[in-house]
Structure 1
Amino acid sequence: MGGSAATAQADAYEELTEFLLRPEDDAHPVHEVRECVCRSCGGRVFEVAAMADDTGAVRRTCVACGVHGFIADSAEYWDDEDDAEVCACNCGHEEFAAAVGFSLYDDESDDVRWLYVALRCQSCAEIGVYDDWKIGYGPSGMLLDQV
């Protein structure tokens, strides 16, 4: 990745992190933020789809190499037979930098209580949470490495 492209991706991750760590009145506090990075090629730009039925399942597809990856435990709930909604920015573009914010339980474990999938549009830089869901089981700390 060239210098300016690497800087742009670092800036995108920094902005996503700041966004996810900002306290929200109606949300659990985020304790950990992890950047989505393609495990195949190291790409950081994705097309993203979420299951339409609010099951808490998100799949990202690397724009550089086309490899699919699931966020957290999404592979367990993803159903290729059901409709998935392709995420699109208000500006109409569908390519994003992505990060996941994790709210952890207040005990000594690293179990995840809730997670938030935030996307930053590659065209206009708008950021938003496109999906979130509760993690109702433990141990679940391994989900922090499944973004």
Structure 2
Amino acid sequence: MALTKKGEFWYGTTSGDTQAELRSYSIANRHEAVRFAASKCDCGCRTFALQSDEEAGVAIRTCTDCGQEHLMGNSADYMDGAAPETHECVCENEVFELVSGVAVHEGTHKVRWYYIACHCVECNLVGVFADWPCEAPDAAAFLAKV
């Protein structure tokens, strides 16, 4: 399915749809995401609850199968004083497939902005639910931790 707009929101069914919405959002934000990664738990599950604190630069995903919490990207470096809040879809569902994207400093692999896009497993809404400026030395290593 391609992205479809219903009212003010976008809907899709694949991780490609979610990535397309993330990329569009990042372009509008003037920090275009150029590298992407889908979240997957060690148990193999691809659905999560998401909490974030954009001011602190922290995101935590919790696996819906095994319950394992995972600090995303470099969130472990910023947990002190963070107050992550749970994300909820407009349909009130709290279970998502997650796609992360990063913008990098021109000519480098250094992360400059982090985006987390969600695909609601209940209603198929896709959107960027969290983003913030971020400094990490290597985009590949950063995205390996999402």
Name the TM tier (shorter chain): 0.7 to 0.9
Q: CA deviation at 1:84?
A: 2.4
Aligned residues: 132
Say what the alpha-carbon RMSD is for the aligned residues.
1.8
Q: CA deviation at 1:83?
A: 3.5
Whole-angstrom CA distance in 2 between matches of 1:56 and 1:82: 8
Whole-angstrom CA distance in 1 between matches of 2:68 and 2:37: 19
Matched-pair contact (CA < 8 Å) for 2:21–2:128: no
Whole-angstrom CA distance in 2 between matches of 1:111 and 1:136: 7
Specify the code of the residue in structure 2 equivalent to 1:17.
Answer: Q
Whole-angstrom CA distance in 1 between matches of 2:40 and 2:30: 25
CA deviation digits over 1:37-78, x for unaligned, max 9?
A: 11x201100001113x62110000000111111111112212
Ranges in structure 1 where 5+ consecutive residues have no aligned partner: 1-10
Whole-angstrom CA distance in 2 between matches of 1:136 and 1:110: 11
Greater fraction strand: 2
Whole-angstrom CA distance in 2 between matches of 1:21 and 1:84: 24
1:27 paired to 2:30: yes
Matched-pair contact (CA < 8 Å) for 1:30–1:102: yes
SS in 2 for 1:100: strand
Matched-pair contact (CA < 8 Å) for 1:50–1:58: yes
Whole-angstrom CA distance in 2 between matches of 1:124 and 1:97: 12
Ranges in structure 2 where 5+ consecutive residues have no aligned partner: 1-12
TM-score (norm 1): 0.81
Whole-angstrom CA distance in 2 between matches of 1:25 and 1:17: 14
Q: CA deviation at 1:82?
A: 5.3
